[in-house]
Structure 1
Amino acid sequence: MGQYRLIRLGEQIKQEIATMLLRHEVKDPRVNEFLTINRVEVAGDLAYAKVYVSSFMDDKAVERGVEGLQSAAGFIQSCIAKKLSIYKFPKFTFIADFSMKEGYKMVQKLNALESERKSDE
């Protein structure tokens, strides 16, 4: 399958999972609407897809949410497979992604250094 098509499929899967989270279709109490799907990487043979999940909540809440999504992976796969027409549907693996929160912390540190430098002048 072409690389561009894999990227498009990943974006479609990302959109569908995000919609399911907003509509509260996943009934696991560990999963809430504050989880964000950052990206989806689909393998070239469509066997697997890595779904990266993040949030600005504390790290334990994100990990609990990822566990809830992983336990509901079969349900999520079946719901999305009904909407998308592809010959083979990937198996989802949900991964906690803390890069967004770490980037935000880095920007805060840079802003603090900038304001400190301005106050010294």
Structure 2
Amino acid sequence: MAEYRTERVGRLIQEKIGSLIVEGKVKDPRVDTFLSITRVAVSRDLSYADCYVSSYKSAGLATGVEGLQSAAGFIQSQLAAMMHIRHTPRLRFHEDQGIREGFELVQKIDSLVNTNSETPNDGQ
């Protein structure tokens, strides 16, 4: 039961932080609207929420995460006003490399397929 609650709170935090970023309510200049919250992992006791961030522009990801981390107090206060839970989790922001790593993996697979199709078969 507690696992369902942490997932639900995580999805809600992801949605609310995403809307704060898109609406431009986070005034830090490092936080770009191209940032996206890909997933949120909430601790079992709801004291921490690890927010994983990706960006369409890979160059601004590290600075965007720094901007979100410095605005974490403001974002947490906004979440407290929007969400109806007793304690709002402390937010920690991390770069999500999963999308980039997945893209690189697909490129490697494609290059292997292309090299295998270019090599001649020895009569097989």
TM-score, normalised by the number of residues in structure 2: 0.90
Whole-angstrom CA distance in 1 between matches of 2:119 and 2:34? 40
Matched, 1:28 2:28: yes
**5+ residue gaps in structure 2?**
none
Question: Cα distance, 1:105 vs. partner?
Answer: 0.7
Structure 1 segments of 4 or more deviating over 4 A? none
Q: Secondary structure at the match of 1:110?
A: helix
Asked if 2 retains the 8 angstrom alpha-carbon contact of 1:55 and 1:101, the reply is no
Deviations 1:78-98 (A, max 9, x none): 111111100111110111121
- RMSD value, Cα: 1.4
SS of the residue aligned with 1:109?
helix
Q: What's 2:48 paired with? A: 48
Question: Equivalents in 1 of 2:53, 2:62: separation in Å?
Answer: 9
Question: Is the contact between residue 35 and residue 61 of structure 2 (CA under 8 Å) also seen in structure 1?
Answer: yes
Partner amino acid, structure 2, of 1:8: R
Residue range with higher mean Cα deviation, 111-120 or 5-14: 111-120
Quote the residue 1:74 is aligned against.
73
Bigger shift: residues 65-74 or 108-117: 108-117
The Cα of 1:10 is off from its aligned counterpart by 0.0
- Among all aligned residue pairs of Structure 1 and Structure 2, give the percentage whose two residues are the same amino acid: 43
Corresponding residue SS for 1:75: helix
How much has 1:57 moved relative to structure 2?
2.3
Cα distance in 2 for residues equivalent to 1:19 and 1:38: 13
TM-score (norm 1): 0.92
Q: Which runs of 5+ in 1 are unaligned?
A: none
Relative to structure 2, which stretch is displaced further, 64-73 or 43-52? 43-52
CA distance in 1, matches of 2:35, 2:97: 12
